[in-house]
């Protein structure tokens, strides 16, 4: 074996601690696979004096970014700290200084990935980001190498573990959203402020990265239609089961001529679809390519050890390329002409739960709205009227229709005099 590759690590938290430990305790095995020695040279932390679970030589720690970014001895910057700035700038500085970059930062890669990849190509270095989406599940390398002979037709994913855990607990234990989020926080899945996960923001960042890589286009997070799981109530899980569905937060992208769909929202997923069976905090990504057909990738989408697996795997791959003096992975060329389909034009099926006054003509009025919007009803359930307040609950599923028509039907029904509320609206996948 010849040579050493020096690594600067940014962040020594849940993921960084595991990355450092792997590098420090598994050196010979990693070096044998990489063909060079991988040396952890410096670690950037906020507070070098803080007590840590991992045993690490104090002289490796620094709170000064320049100690990594401006040290010519460091070949590779590994960033696992997260958040937008200053991390985007650190990555940019490292690339400009001729360093290769490995990052687990989904926010930076979702918002600025194409620009960083372009800059890296111009500087003849590489950006690896397997850990930015789906933790330990090999997704980026799958698209970037194994599926590159394909035209990717669609990618559908359960890509947020927190919401999948929460929805699972609502479905199985009948918990309210608040109770299930409390459980997820106690189990260490949900953050103290769960907005990023519950609101679908985290999934939208991940879909932006997956869509960009799958189609080699620039999918920006703010172009992705996004809805979180806030409106779902325990009763919706009972109706879903009765109708043969599970409720999941789905991130979906699909190719159309000259355009792609890209959307994140809760959806009713048929029970025989593989995504309906993703349990707990696991993630799953269902890919369809024109040559390969359907592929399902499942695993732990977060956590220190699975994410470190992706980071250190990238490092070994990169080290091999550096040793051989080649860029073993294809670079990207993003097609700027492909745009995202506005949600209103997306054709989908829908589920409505509607509370109505239990009186003559209500069904006719609702049927009239659907007919006028060109939406065909697929199924209709009405449970016995509630004698206390003379209301009834109607559940309607539709055949496929443009989302704008489904939304107009929802608004027009809510405005009907005998309709108390359209209490739930979900797309059917």
Interface residues toward ligand HSE, by CB under 6 A: 160-162, 189, 197, 202, 301-302
Interatomic CA distance for residues 335 and 147, integer angstroms: 18
Residue of 99, 206, 218, 248 marked catalytic: 206
Give the E-state strand segments of 114-244 in sequence order. Answer: 127-128, 152-158, 225-226
Encoded tokens for 268: 């009713």
3-class secondary structure, 385? coil
Element (H, E) at 144: none
Is 383 part of the annotated catalytic residue set? no
Interatomic CA distance for residues 221 and 56, integer angstroms: 37
Interatomic CA distance for residues 271 and 424, integer angstroms: 20
Interatomic CA distance for residues 128 and 13, integer angstroms: 20
The least CB distance from residue 103 to ligand HSE, in Å, is 13
Nearer to ligand HSE, 189 or 239 (CB): 189
Interatomic CA distance for residues 228 and 86, integer angstroms: 28
The least CB distance from residue 409 to ligand HSE, in Å, is 33
Which distant-in-sequence residues (6+ apart) come within 8 Å of 42 by Cβ? 8, 9, 60, 62, 67, 68, 71, 74
- The answer to whether 43 and 61 have CB atoms below 8 angstroms apart is yes
Element (H, E) at 303: none
Element (H, E) at 99: none
Nearer to ligand HSE, 91 or 137 (CB): 137
Nearer to ligand HSE, 41 or 164 (CB): 164
3-class secondary structure, 93? helix
Nearer to ligand HSE, 260 or 278 (CB): 278
The least CB distance from residue 155 to ligand HSE, in Å, is 16
The least CB distance from residue 408 to ligand HSE, in Å, is 33
Nearer to ligand HSE, 197 or 261 (CB): 197
**Residue 304: phi, psi to the nearest 5?**
-60, -50
Nearer to ligand HSE, 21 or 202 (CB): 202
Interatomic CA distance for residues 62 and 342, integer angstroms: 47
The least CB distance from residue 250 to ligand HSE, in Å, is 14
Nearer to ligand HSE, 103 or 162 (CB): 162
The least CB distance from residue 153 to ligand HSE, in Å, is 25
Encoded tokens for 166: 């929460």
3-class secondary structure, 314? helix
User: Residue 21's Cα: distance from chain center in Å?
Assistant: 27
Which distant-in-sequence residues (6+ apart) come within 8 Å of 327 by Cβ? 124, 126, 321
Nearer to ligand HSE, 197 or 403 (CB): 197
Give, in degrees to the nearest 5, the angle at Cα 141 between 296 and 65.
Answer: 130
Inter-CA distances, 367 with 180, 183, 184, 300, 338, Å: 36, 41, 40, 44, 38
- What residues act catalytically? 206
């Amino acid at each position: 074996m010849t040579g050493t590759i020096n690594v600067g690590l940014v962040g020594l938290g849940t993921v960084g601690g595991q990355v450092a430990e792997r590098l420090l305790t598994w050196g010979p095995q990693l070096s044998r696979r990489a063909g060079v020695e991988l040396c952890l040279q410096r670690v950037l932390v906020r507070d070098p004096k803080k007590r840590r679970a991992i045993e690490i030589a104090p002289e490796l720690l620094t709170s000064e970014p320049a100690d990594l970014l401006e040290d010519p001895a460091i070949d590779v910057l590994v960033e696992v700290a997260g958040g937008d700035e200053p991390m985007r700038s650190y990555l940019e500085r490292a690339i400009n200084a001729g360093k290769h970059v490995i990052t687990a930062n989904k926010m930076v890669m979702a918002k600025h990935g194409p620009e960083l990849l372009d800059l890296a190509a111009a500087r003849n270095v590489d950006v690896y980001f397997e850990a930015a989406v789906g933790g330990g599940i090999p997704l980026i390398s799958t698209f970037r190498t194994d599926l590159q002979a394909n035209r990717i037709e669609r990618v559908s994913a359960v890509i947020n573990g927190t919401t999948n855990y929460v929805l699972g607990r609502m479905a199985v234990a009948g918990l309210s959203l608040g109770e299930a989020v409390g459980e997820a926080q106690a189990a260490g899945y949900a953050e103290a402020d769960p907005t990023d996960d519950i609101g679908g923001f985290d999934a939208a960042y991940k879909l932006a990265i997956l869509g960009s890589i799958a189609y080699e286009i620039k999918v920006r997070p703010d172009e992705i239609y996004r809805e979180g799981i806030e409106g779902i109530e325990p009763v919706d899980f009972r109706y879903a089961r009765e109708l043969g569905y599970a409720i999941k937060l789905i991130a979906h992208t699909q190719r159309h001529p000259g355009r792609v769909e890209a959307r994140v929202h809760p959806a009713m997923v048929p029970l025989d679809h593989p995504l309906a069976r993703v349990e707990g905090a696991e993630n799953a990504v269902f890919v369809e390519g024109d040559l390969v057909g359907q592929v399902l990738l499942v695993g732990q989408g977060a956590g220190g050890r699975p994410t470190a697996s992706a980071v250190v795997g990238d490092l070994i791959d990169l080290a091999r390329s550096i040793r051989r003096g080649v860029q073993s992975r294809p670079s990207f060329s993003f097609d700027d002409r492909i745009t995202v389909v506005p949600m209103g034009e997306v054709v989908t099926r829908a589920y409505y739960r509607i509370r109505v006054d239990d009186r003559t003509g209500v069904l006719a009025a609702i049927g009239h709205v659907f007919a006028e919007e060109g939406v065909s009803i697929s199924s209709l359930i009405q449970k016995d009227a509630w004698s206390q307040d003379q209301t009834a609950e109607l559940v309607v599923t539709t055949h496929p229709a443009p989302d704008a028509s489904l939304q107009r039907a929802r608004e027009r029904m809510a405005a009907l005099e005998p309709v108390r509320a359209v209490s739930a609206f979900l797309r059917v996948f």
